[in-house]
Structure 1
Amino acid sequence: MLPEAERTHRVIALVPAFNAAATVGATVTALKAIAKIDDIIVIDDGSNDSTDAEAAKAGARVIRLSQNRGKGEALNAGLDEVLKENAGGGTGTNAIVALVDSDLGSSAVEFEKLIDPVLKNQVDMTIARFPKALRKGGFGLLKRTARNGLKLFTGIEFDSPLSGQRVLNGRAIEAISSFESGWGVEVGMTIDVCRKGLRVREVPVQMKHNETGRDLAGFQHRGQQFMGVIRVFAKRLMTR
């Protein structure tokens, strides 16, 4: 690892957050404990609670969207800020960007494991591979569909195809251009990065986040994800 004084890439964490007042402060605090992270930007996606105040109190910069636009558009708002502040020539950036869910809490400190391989230029994008879920969710259809679709598009079988915890360098950011709106952000990102022949690695972590169960809300959530994944696959089929 290069000494801090010799680092040429800033590491910036983007944290999209919607009604996350209960968890975003702990997530930001954990990220601030990682010396390699230079800046933390929380994108408050039109929350109607105190998400923005809790994020600011913990030490993050906050971008507040006037209405809820979804994870992809929140990330795009954060990425626009990164590109404005860290231009690397042309439309690129010399920054390394960490994508962090707001509900990780103290386990966000595990992001150091995702940052290191990118800083060392071993890979262009890392993806967090979570431990086995403690709570039974759905019946695996969503994950199988995402995994099989990604293998079709990329030739790679991903263990955690839907993991949103990622770190990207400038090449990976340029490959995706912008994040998908709605659901399907993760699979779209993976296809775009792999299509450019960039290096991707799944990294085992001990992160924890809110898990959906086998209740109505859980099935509705996964149903929305499923349709988003199918939409992204259909869109990428048109651009093969």
Structure 2
Amino acid sequence: MEEKGRLVCVVPVYNESDLIVNTIESLKKIDLIDEIVVVNDGSQDNTLEVINSLDVSVINLEKNCGKGYAMRKAIETLKYDYIAFIDGDLGESSIQTEKLILPVINGEVDVSIAKFSDRSTMTNTKGGFGIVKRFAKSGIYFFTKKEIDTSLSGQRVYKKQVIEKMNYIPDRYGIEVAMTIQTINNGFSIMEVPVTMNHRYSQRNLQGFIHRGKQFIDILKTFIVMYFRG
């Protein structure tokens, strides 16, 4: 394998003080990562205090602007040849990020996305996740004629060239579908990599339904914008 270039791992977080320490400590064990950058998206708990103690780079946003905004801020700020996006709630299972990194830096594929197993909490349909997931998958197929099972997975690794070709990164929950559609339509390849990561999911309660409702609306807005942008 040739010199891989610089790989930066970006972890956007909002109120993740309970899990972020284990997530970061496991990422530190991956030698392929050159820099870990946590983007604090206006957390209202003590997340900022916690991440400032972890010996990682920190981008702090004073107010909550959305996951997509946090990711875009990192893209605009950082120098990298490869960039990984990892959610802050993976805990110790973030060590499996290495599975996503290898096929990209080895030149097998342009983008890798984590495909959660049936045992993973990510695939639990409580709180309406199944509806949102099917909607996202259908929308991606509409725009690309490709079936992608990992339409909402936030665990991804990109070559810099893929990111540079993107011209639309929405502020909030539509971020994954927007980046997936542009990756495919710009002619880049995607590998869905099986993982058994752990992931927080919304409960079947009022708060969970509100969260999924916001996610659905954001994805719908993203599809509308992309349709009229052509």
User: Shorter-chain TM-score: which interval?
Assistant: over 0.9
Decide whether aligned partners of structure 1 residues 7 and 238 sit closer, same or farther in structure 2, where only a CA change above 3 A counts. Answer: same
Equivalent pair of 1:136/1:213 in contact (CA under 8 Å): no
What is the match of residue 51 of structure 1? 47
Partner Cα separation in structure 2 for residue 74 and residue 127 of structure 1 = 19
2:107 to 112, 115, 121: 121
Work out whether residues 136 and 214 of structure 1, in 8 Å CA contact, stay in contact via their aligned partners in 2: no
Give the Cα–Cα distance (whole angstroms) in 2 for the partners of residues 47 and 142 of structure 1.
Answer: 25
Which stretch shifts more, 131-140 or 148-157?
131-140
Unaligned runs of 5+ in 1: 87-94
Identical columns (%)? 38
Tell me how far 1:136 sits from its aligned partner.
Answer: 4.2
1:173 maps to 163
Give 2:15's aligned residue: 19
C-alpha distance in 2 between matches for 1:177 and 1:221: 27
Residue type at the aligned position of 2:178: G
Aligned length: 226
CA distance in 2, matches of 1:8, 1:60: 21
Cα 1:67–1:170 change in 2 (3 A) is same
RMSD: 1.5
User: What displacement does 1:24 show?
Assistant: 1.1
Task: Extract unaligned runs of 5+ from structure 2.
Answer: none
| Of 155, 178, 182, the match for 1:192 | 182
SS at match of 1:238: helix
Contact 1:15–1:41 under 8 Å retained in 2: yes
1:48 match: secondary structure: coil
SS in 1 for 2:169: coil
Distance 1:143 1:50 in 2: 31
* Matches of 1:150 and 1:178, distance apart in 2: 15
1:178 deviates by 5.2
The 3-state SS of whatever aligns with 1:202 is strand
- Deviation larger for 131-140 or 199-208: 131-140
Q: Say if 1:25 and 1:57, in contact at 8 Å, map to a contact too.
A: no
Residue 216 (str. 1) matches residue 206 (str. 2): yes
Given the superposition, is the C-alpha separation of residues 39 and 239 from structure 1 closer, same or farther in structure 2, using an over 3 Å criterion?
A: same
